[in-house]
């Protein structure tokens, strides 16, 4: 979508592209289309996805085809490749027509219906596809990235290990150089889509021997495909929420990787780029939270008007009014955060602490609103049919995955201190991890 099509983008103020503070046409018509699709095609299959009877991937492809995403992605890809060899593409740069408003509408609408589905889709095209497009060589982008972005193949992104979660760069998966190859050994855990993935982006430390074992500059992403000898996955893990999204472990047992499967070569370490990935994940989370909050608020309001006790609708009771009003306050605040994130992106502003703050606040708000929706609906709120119990369980993951709420707070403090010229160190020898 071109800038000039945006209602408030008629002129530029002080060199900055103005940003909407609410969705407007044409985003609203996209929102209506997505909502209609999600209601018709995703919601009816949600219980089956939650129970593991069906996988989300065919529905992802159906969604992509319904909105012409594969064609858009391919056209955008060829144009970019003809220009600068792809540069540092991300899926957002062409997958959604390059419009961050559309990406936000997409994340919100999917999450109103099924946040687990959004998680799986985001891990595949955003984390896996986005990393390949941001870092890969033109050949790697075409061979591994493009089929993930068109959703022909399913991707996963593996950083977390059994002994390194928040302290992500303390990972132990090692890549030992051997002639034209690396030999990879290690394991990953909690990896979204791993049990069914076709394409794996796996982070490993290149073993240069000696004292460099904790050196973050030696951590790199490798791209590999299902069926690679020595690469195996676990069954899907049983989880509290996000049950539509399969999660699993990845095992690397003497996996022999040709050197050209190190994404983008050894010149650029993963540190800079994975910070982009974490940042992208954080930017995407508020839109997911907004979808959860919006749906809980709407359902709660309807319920409070319809349900009677003591011959009065629940909405007549001030304690229930308080719940609805507080849900709305969170809705407004999270919506504003979504637009602030878009503004930062459109204006190419550095947004590390802002993204951490937005993720921290929005995920806490989503958990609170969804739990209050359960409370407002009483026994019905606890029953699957009423939807909000699942949204409450799903929302909790958003305070853990992509960096926990505690880590977001540490990052914010660290960034604020750094702006004053003070570097906070976690153990006196190395800066605190920003996973």
Ligand X SMILES: Cc1cc2nc3c(=O)[nH]c(=O)nc-3n(C[C@H](O)[C@H](O)[C@H](O)COP(=O)(O)OP(=O)(O)OC[C@H]3O[C@@H](n4cnc5c(N)ncnc54)[C@H](O)[C@@H]3O)c2cc1C
Any idea which residues carry the catalytic annotation? 281
> Which residues within the stretch 105-134 sit at the binding site for ligand X (CB under 6 A)?
123
Any contact of residue 367 with ligand X (CB under 6 A)?
Answer: no
Residue 223 CA to its chain's centroid (Å)? 19
Residue range at the interface with ligand X (CB under 6 A); choices 152-160, 220-228, 314-322, 348-356: 152-160
Residue 333 CA to its chain's centroid (Å)? 20
Q: What contacts 356, CB < 8 A, 6 or more positions away?
A: 282, 403, 408, 409, 411, 412, 415
108 close to 291: Cβ distance less than 8 angstroms? yes
Q: What is the distance between the alpha carbons of residues 101 and 37, in angstroms, rounded to a whole number?
A: 18
Give the number of residues in contact with ligand X, rule: CB under 6 A.
23
Output the smallest distance, CB 277 to ligand X, in A. 10
Burial of 41 (0-12, 13-18, 19+ CB in 10 A): middle
Residue range at the interface with ligand X (CB under 6 A); choices 1-9, 134-142, 184-192, 384-392: 184-192
> Which residues within the stretch 246-275 sit at the binding site for ligand X (CB under 6 A)?
247
End-to-end CA separation in angstroms for the chain: 32
> Which residues within the stretch 401-420 sit at the binding site for ligand X (CB under 6 A)?
401-404, 406-407, 410
Phi, psi of 400 (to 5 degrees): -120, -55
170 close to 163: Cβ distance less than 8 angstroms? yes
Q: Which of 120, 173, 192, 274 binds ligand X (CB under 6 A)?
A: 192
Residue nearest to ligand X (CB): 165
Q: Which of 158, 221, 264, 381 binds ligand X (CB under 6 A)?
A: 158
Asked if the bond preceding 382 is cis, omega within 30° of 0, the reply is no
The dihedral sign for the CA sequence 236, 278, 272, 3: positive
Q: What is the distance between the alpha carbons of residues 401 and 382, in angstroms, rounded to a whole number?
A: 24
Q: Which of 47, 137, 166, 333 binds ligand X (CB under 6 A)?
A: 166
Q: What is the distance between the alpha carbons of residues 241 and 192, in angstroms, rounded to a whole number?
A: 13
Output the smallest distance, CB 22 to ligand X, in A. 31
Output the smallest distance, CB 103 to ligand X, in A. 19
Any contact of residue 159 with ligand X (CB under 6 A)?
Answer: yes
Residue range at the interface with ligand X (CB under 6 A); choices 68-76, 206-214, 225-233, 398-406: 398-406
Output the smallest distance, CB 152 to ligand X, in A. 20
Any contact of residue 234 with ligand X (CB under 6 A)?
Answer: no
Any contact of residue 242 with ligand X (CB under 6 A)?
Answer: yes
Phi, psi of 200 (to 5 degrees): -120, 130
Any contact of residue 221 with ligand X (CB under 6 A)?
Answer: no
Any contact of residue 435 with ligand X (CB under 6 A)?
Answer: yes
Considering the complex, state which of residue 74 and residue 239 has its C-beta at the smaller distance from ligand X. Answer: 239
Q: Which of 90, 103, 160, 244 binds ligand X (CB under 6 A)?
A: 160
Residue 81's closest CA among 39, 139, 15? 139
By the criterion CB under 6 A, which residues form the site for ligand X? 123, 157-160, 165-166, 190-192, 239, 242, 247, 397, 400-404, 406-407, 410, 435
């Amino acid at each position: 979508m071109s800038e000039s099509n945006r209602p408030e983008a008629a002129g530029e103020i002080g060199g900055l592209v103005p940003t909407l503070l609410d969705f407007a046409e044409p985003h609203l018509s996209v929102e209506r289309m997505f909502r209609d699709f999600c209601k018709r095609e995703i919601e009816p299959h949600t219980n089956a996805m939650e129970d593991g009877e069906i996988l989300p991937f065919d529905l992802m492809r159906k969604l992509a085809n319904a909105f012409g995403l594969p064609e858009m992605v391919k056209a955008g890809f060829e144009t970019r490749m003809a220009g600068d060899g792809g540069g540092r593409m991300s899926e957002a740069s062409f997958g959604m027509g390059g419009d961050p408003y559309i990406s936000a509408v997409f994340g919100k609408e999917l999450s109103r219906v099924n946040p687990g589905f959004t998680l799986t889709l985001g891990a595949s095209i955003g984390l896996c596809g986005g990393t390949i497009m941001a870092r890969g060589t033109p050949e790697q982008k075409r061979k591994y990235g493009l089929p993930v972005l068109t959703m022909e193949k399913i991707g996963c992104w593996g950083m977390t290990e059994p002994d390194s979660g928040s302290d992500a760069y303390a990972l132990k998966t090692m890549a030992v150089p051997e002639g034209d190859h690396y030999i990879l050994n290690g394991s990953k855990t909690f990896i979204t889509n791993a049990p069914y993935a076709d394409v794996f982006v796996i982070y490993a430390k290149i073993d240069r021997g000696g004292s460099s074992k904790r050196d973050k500059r030696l951590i790199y992403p490798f791209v590999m495909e299902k069926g690679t000898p020595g690469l195996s996955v676990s069954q899907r893990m049983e989880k509290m929420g996000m049950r539509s999204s399969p999660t699993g472990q990845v095992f690397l047992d003497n996996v022999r990787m040709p050197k050209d499967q190190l994404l983008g070569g050894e010149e650029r370490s993963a540190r800079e780029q994975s910070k982009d990935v974490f940042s992208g994940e954080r930017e995407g989370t508020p839109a997911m939270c907004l979808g959860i909050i919006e749906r809980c608020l709407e359902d709660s309001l309807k319920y409070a008007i319809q349900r009677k006790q003591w011959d009065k609708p629940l909405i007549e009771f001030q304690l229930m009014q308080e719940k609805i009003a507080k849900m709305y306050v969170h809705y407004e605040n999270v919506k504003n955060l979504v637009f602030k994130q878009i503004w930062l992106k459109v204006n190419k502003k550095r947004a590390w602490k802002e993204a951490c703050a937005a993720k921290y606040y929005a995920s806490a708000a989503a958990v609170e609103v969804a739990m209050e929706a359960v409370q407002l609906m009483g026994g019905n709120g606890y029953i699957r049919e009423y939807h909000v119990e699942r949204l409450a369980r799903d929302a909790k993951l958003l305070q853990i995955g992509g960096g926990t709420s505690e880590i977001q707070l540490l990052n914010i403090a660290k960034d604020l201190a750094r702006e004053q010229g003070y570097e906070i160190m976690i153990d006196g020898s190395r800066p605190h991890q920003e996973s």
